[in-house]
Structure 1
Amino acid sequence: MQDQDFILFEDYLSGHLSLEEKQAFETRLESDAPFNEAFEAYKETSGFLEHHIKNTAGTEAFKANLERVSSAYFNKQVPSKTKRMNPWYYSMAAAAILAIGFFIAQQFSSPVYDDFANYGTISLTVRGTQNNLTTKAETAFNNHNYKDAERYFLDMLETDKDNIELQLYRAVSLVELNKYDEADKLYNNIIQTPSVYKNKAIWYLALSKLKQGDEEACVNVLKTLPEEAEDYQQAQELIDKLD
């Protein structure tokens, strides 16, 4: 198993995969026996750990228990005679160890912007003479060329200044370019409108605050996201990690 497989396991269990990614994952489970076995081991191990942590007085107590158990295990004398084990057991043991390590890293590490900043690909509505510029903006943004994308969005907004969709993606590009003041101003303007992009602007504004290292502001913004928002569940997970 590769590290990315365990990241994939966690994304599947936490519901972060797209519909296409979920279908591909489940197809692989059916056709790839070692992958399926590693996933089951990861699921059982992470489920046990999650239950254990929730029923422990605190994460510090859990860490202390982990250190004590690890110390006791590795200080044991290894018997002079060992029984030869099937390689399958080694694979499963490795999967379990990696699952524990990955789960602990997820639980005790501070969340960062890149953990949540998944903007996907965009497809802008074609507007007559803007067709060529629209294509350039889409291509630049989808290829993570945010410098060019921001410039194209700005050019398009000169003739379509009230286009909320363009404002939103320009703000995303500005955050990626670390131009936070301009980006946050755009997000706040969108939030004040009754646009269908309002909730996305709230979520993206929170991510901007996270990237800036302002965790308190990030949490405050996240708490304004309504339950019906597409990103509400992720917002709650981020709040839990930051609080």
Structure 2
Amino acid sequence: MDEAKYILFDKYLNNELTSVELKSFEDQLVSDADFKHEFEIYKALETSLAAKFENEQEEIELRKTLQSIGNQHIKAPKKETKVIPLFNYKNLLVAASIAVLIGLFIFNNGNPVYGDFANHNALEIVVRSENNQAVVAAEEAFNSKKYEEALQQLTILSDEYSEDVEIELYKGICNLELNNYTEANQIFTEISNGKSSFSTTATWYKALMYLKQEKMENCKKVLQTIPESAEEYTQAQKLLKKL
């Protein structure tokens, strides 16, 4: 199914065709069984997806994603190739288009996963340390997602600055990324029970820790403790709705 058909089907479903285009479209539905089959699949999947959206912006984002994926992966066949007959190639395009829609449907409506929500702020250590090399190394490693190396450097710094909550928080994130759940839980619990400005952030990460382990009930309980005034509240509510 090529991009032109996506556009045509979409215009029909949104009553955007001219009278001439509408008649041509409906005539083709009657005369072309393949065309009608493709349209029925598109309509069913698009309706199922749209029913799950919370607002218009989510639908707009889906349309952009479909167009982007279509441009990248659904290319017209080259005239010189004879490996795949034209009829079979057409069927492959239809199958690919359906797979894209089903994949997006599953992604948006299946259980949430850790990767959907684990968006870490860049590490920028503000402490003045005689061991500036460890500061630079920790920042570069963490921001490059080299979590094992980052954890090593942050541990060196935490020995020097044992009261620095931010360093401890990022140690917890590194442990979480490395699946060191016991160590991560200990750090997040201690920070969330404290009175620092990072307490709700640690609570959020504790919820993500349970999400990564697929302990959904534990995740829900932690999310429900995040107050409305917290910066993480919106994301917490979004995750709660998906659980």
Compute the TM-score of the two structures, normalised by the length of structure 2.
Answer: 0.60
Aligned equivalent of 2:196: 195
Question: Matches of 1:159 and 1:179 in 2, distance apart?
Answer: 23
Separation of aligned partners in 1, 2:99 and 2:161? 51
Partner of 2:69 in structure 1?
none
**Aligned-partner Cα distance in 2 for 1:182–1:165:** 16
Structure 1 gaps, min length 5: 1-33, 55-92
Where in structure 2 are there 5+ consecutive unaligned residues?
15-42, 54-93
Name the counterpart of 2:150: 149
Note closer, same or farther for the CA distance 1:232–1:50 as it changes in structure 2 (3 Å cut).
farther
Q: 1:153 to 1:128 in 2, by over 3 A?
A: closer
Q: How much does 1:51 deviate?
A: 6.0
The CA distance in 2 between the partners of 1:52 and 1:155, in whole Å, is 51
Report the equivalent of 1:114.
Answer: 115
- Cα distance, 1:218 vs. partner? 0.7
Q: Kindly provide the CA deviation profile for residues 132-157 of structure 1, in whole angstroms up to 9, marking residues without a partner as x.
A: 21111101101111111111111111
- Within 5 Å, which residues of 2 pair with 1:1-243? 52-53=51-52, 100-101=101-102, 103-242=104-243
Counterparts of 2:48 and 2:194, CA distance in 1: 44
CA contact (8 A) 2:134 2:153 kept: yes
CA, structure 1 residues 236+163, in 2 after alignment: closer, same or farther (shift >3 Å)?
Answer: same
Q: What is the CA distance between 1:235 and its match in structure 2?
A: 1.1
Q: Which residue of 1 aligns with 2:35?
A: none
Q: Distance in 2 between matches of 1:234 and 1:48?
A: 26
Query: Which secondary structure state, in structure 2, belongs to the residue aligned with residue 128 of structure 1?
Result: coil
- CA drift of 1:101 comes to 3.6
Q: What is the alpha-carbon distance in structure 2 between the residues aligned to residue 117 and residue 231 of structure 1? A: 12
Distance 1:103 1:214 in 2: 24
For residues 95-118 of structure 1, what are the alpha-carbon distances to aligned partners after superposition, in whole Å with 9 as ceiling and x for unaligned? Answer: x97885455223431111111111
Amino acid at match of 1:159: E
Taking structure 1 as reference, are residues 175 and 154 closer, same or farther at Cα in structure 2, changes over 3 Å only? same
Change (3 A) 1:142 1:224: same
Q: Retained in 1: the 8 A contact 2:52–2:109?
A: no
Partners of 1:99 and 1:217 in 2: CA distance: 33
Residue-pair matches, total: 173
| Cα distance in 2 between the residues matched to 1:175 and 1:200 | 14
Letter in 2 for 1:145: K
CA distance in 1, matches of 2:177, 2:145: 9
Q: One-letter code of the match for 2:208?
A: L
Cα shift at 1:202:
0.7
Q: TM-score, normalised to structure 1's length?
A: 0.60
In the alignment, residue 140 of structure 2 is paired with which amino acid? T
State whether residues 168 and 187 of structure 2, in contact with CA within 8 Å, keep that contact through their aligned partners in structure 1.
yes
Separation of aligned partners in 2, 1:99 and 1:230 = 34
Task: Render the CA deviation track for 1:30-62: whole Å, top value 9, x for unaligned.
Answer: xxxx9xx8xx98xx89996566358xxxxxxxx
Q: Aligned partners of 1:146 and 1:180: how far apart in 2? A: 14
